[in-house]
Amino acid sequence: ELLTDSHQRVQKSGTQALKQIGSVIKNPEIQAIVPVLLDALQEPTKKTQASLQILIQTRFVHFIDAPSLALIIPVIERAFQNRSTETRKMAAQIIGNIYSLTDSKDLAPYLANILPGLKTSLLDPVPEVRAVSAHALGSMVRAMGEEAFQEIVPWLMEHLVLESSPVDRSGAAQGLSEVIFGLGADRLEKSMKEIIDRSQQLDLAAHVRDGYMMMFIYLPNVLAAI
């Protein structure tokens, strides 16, 4: 926000601060694209998509340190607010890719800003966006544990049985499948029993059973990817 402020002095201070962050980045892959990330932060409307494409193409082999995240995450936050389906899909894909290479304590401060966009993408009308977002959510849960996502399972359960939208039910089923898998074998076994029981309860409303039945579509796909 400082970089797009109408006052030039504020913009200059923000740019200088980000350049200082860029100068202490240890990850060599991020070091190589610092100018691209700074461009995206300074001109988000014009440069966000190009920076996302470069991040997608980058093969990360080194640990992604806190200064690297300080440049990457704001770009992703803006991308989730973009109307472009492709832009939001790339943002989710990048999130899914970087979580296994970062320290959870470095990621924690960004969760509150990332989750709203990821939730919106999880309920996107485009199936591919939902799939990539669900996978990203599962990666986050695996990396950080359920404690960091206290409200995500209740939120997914709420949308799994939402009467008004089959798309929401589908996205929630995908997300819940990835999250349950990310929480480990014990949680998976416990959840499977509930899913089977609920899907067979004939006294439940049709849309509720439909939501649980969708879990049988997506869970096998998640397990097959092991």
Using one digit for the tens of pLDDT, what is the confidence trace for 149-200?
889 999 999 999 999 889 999 999 999 999 998 888 788 888 888 888 888 8
In this chain, the answer to whether the domains covering 1-129 and 151-226 adopt an identical fold is yes
Hunting for tokens 């991308």 — which residue is that?
79
Residue extents of the structural domains in the chain? 1-129, 151-226
- What is d(CA 137, CA 154) in angstroms, rounded to the nearest whole number? 14
Task: Please enumerate in sequence order all residues whose Cβ is within 8 A of that of 154, keeping only pairs 6 or more positions apart, or say none.
Answer: none
The domain made up of 151-226 has a fold known as Leucine-rich Repeat Variant (1.25.10)
Tokens of 210: 């439909």
Model confidence band, residue 14 (pLDDT cutoffs 50, 70, 90): low
Q: How far is CA 124 from the centre of its chain?
A: 13
Quick one: which of 130, 129, 208, 131 has its CA closest to 164? 208
Using one digit for the tens of pLDDT, what is the confidence trace for 51-96?
999 999 999 989 999 999 999 999 999 999 888 999 999 999 999 9
- What is d(CA 168, CA 189) in angstroms, rounded to the nearest whole number? 24
Phi, psi (deg, nearest 5) at residue 26:
-100, -25
HSE (side-chain half, CA atoms, 13 Å) at 2: 12
Q: What is the mean pLDDT of residues 31-35?
A: 93
Hunting for tokens 């939501």 — which residue is that?
211
Kindly report which listed range (11-20, 62-71, 105-114, 184-193) carries the lowest average pLDDT score: 11-20
CATH number of 1-129: 1.25.10.10
Q: Is residue 173 a contact partner of residue 215, using CB atoms and an 8 Å limit? A: yes
